Amino acid sequence: MNFNNLFNSIGFAVCHQIKLRTLSYGGVYLPVCARDTGIYMGFLFAFVYLWTTHRKKQNGLPGLWVSLVAIIFVVIMAIDGFTSYLGIHETNNYIRLITGLVTGISLPIFIFPILNFQVWETSTDERILRGAWKNTGYYLLPAVLFLILNLNVSFFRFFLPALVAFSVYFSFVTISLLVVTLLPWWNMKARGVKQMIVPVLVSMALAVGELYAAAYMKILLDRLIG
């Protein structure tokens, strides 16, 4: 099995895959463009950070200032993408990657506490990202990921495409889990990891179907548009 074809197929479902706008390592292009790489990698690592630093299953949304910063990050990416598309200003892969990263870390701060509330039988009302050290670590994530992704060493061609493809799949699984845990069978029912196995497996299957459907629709649109 050619794993690069699998990774590129996952990327095809969500991205235009224009090579000029895509990072490459050792001649191997990542499955998605620079902006999408930032979004999905930021989402994955932000979720891992929140999961490892918030073990009390906090379900409280972040404070006002943290939320405002997150919204501003998303708006900045939207403005950069929209204005560059209209030809108002010229952007580049560095800017695309940065705006993608700050957007990627912004989304989980709203999704993570909602998931905690929906999934667990018992969760705490404490807000997430309370405390200077948690905020500092969280907002250092884009800088760290940006530096790592710009090392541009040939060794990256072996594992970065897999990591990026996984981050895309992880994002779809997470959003699917958000929907699945609204169902009465799994809403606020989990007392531990065992009770999470079935809804996670269902979400994983749904994510595969969603990616397949997105790729199929993209192929149909390409054929219609010509």
- Kindly report, residue by residue over 159-197, the tens digit of the pLDDT: 999 999 999 999 999 999 999 999 999 999 898 889 999
Mean pLDDT (the chain) is 92
Residue 147 has pLDDT above 70, yes or no: yes
Band (153; pLDDT cuts 50, 70, 90): confident
Number of neighbours of residue 18 by Cβ within 10 angstroms: 10
For the segment 204-215, the average pLDDT, to the nearest whole number, is 96
Residue 155 has pLDDT above 60, yes or no: yes
Residue 1 has pLDDT above 60, yes or no: no
Measured between alpha carbons, how far is 226 from 224 in angstroms, rounded to an integer? Answer: 5
Mind listing the pLDDT tens digit for each residue in 62-80?
989 999 999 999 999 999 8
Measured between alpha carbons, how far is 101 from 117 in angstroms, rounded to an integer? Answer: 26
Measured between alpha carbons, how far is 104 from 37 in angstroms, rounded to an integer? Answer: 9
For 212, residues 6+ apart whose C-beta sits below 8 A from its C-beta are 13
For the segment 6-22, the average pLDDT, to the nearest whole number, is 93
Least confident of 36-50, 78-92, 115-129: 78-92
Distance of CA 133 to the CA centre of its chain: 23
Please give the C-alpha separations between residue 211 and each of 36, 39, 105, 144, 204, in angstroms, as whole numbers: 15, 17, 22, 29, 11
Structure pTM? 0.93
- Hey, what long-range contacts does 134-143 have (CB within 8 A, 24 or more apart)? 134/53, 135/66, 137/49, 137/53, 138/46, 138/49, 138/50, 138/105, 138/109, 139/105, 141/42, 141/45, 141/46, 141/49, 141/101, 141/105, 142/38, 142/42, 142/98, 142/101, 142/102, 142/104, 142/105
Measured between alpha carbons, how far is 221 from 226 in angstroms, rounded to an integer? Answer: 8
Measured between alpha carbons, how far is 101 from 73 in angstroms, rounded to an integer? Answer: 9
For 194, residues 6+ apart whose C-beta sits below 8 A from its C-beta are none
110: left (phi over 0), alpha (psi -120 to 50) or beta: alpha
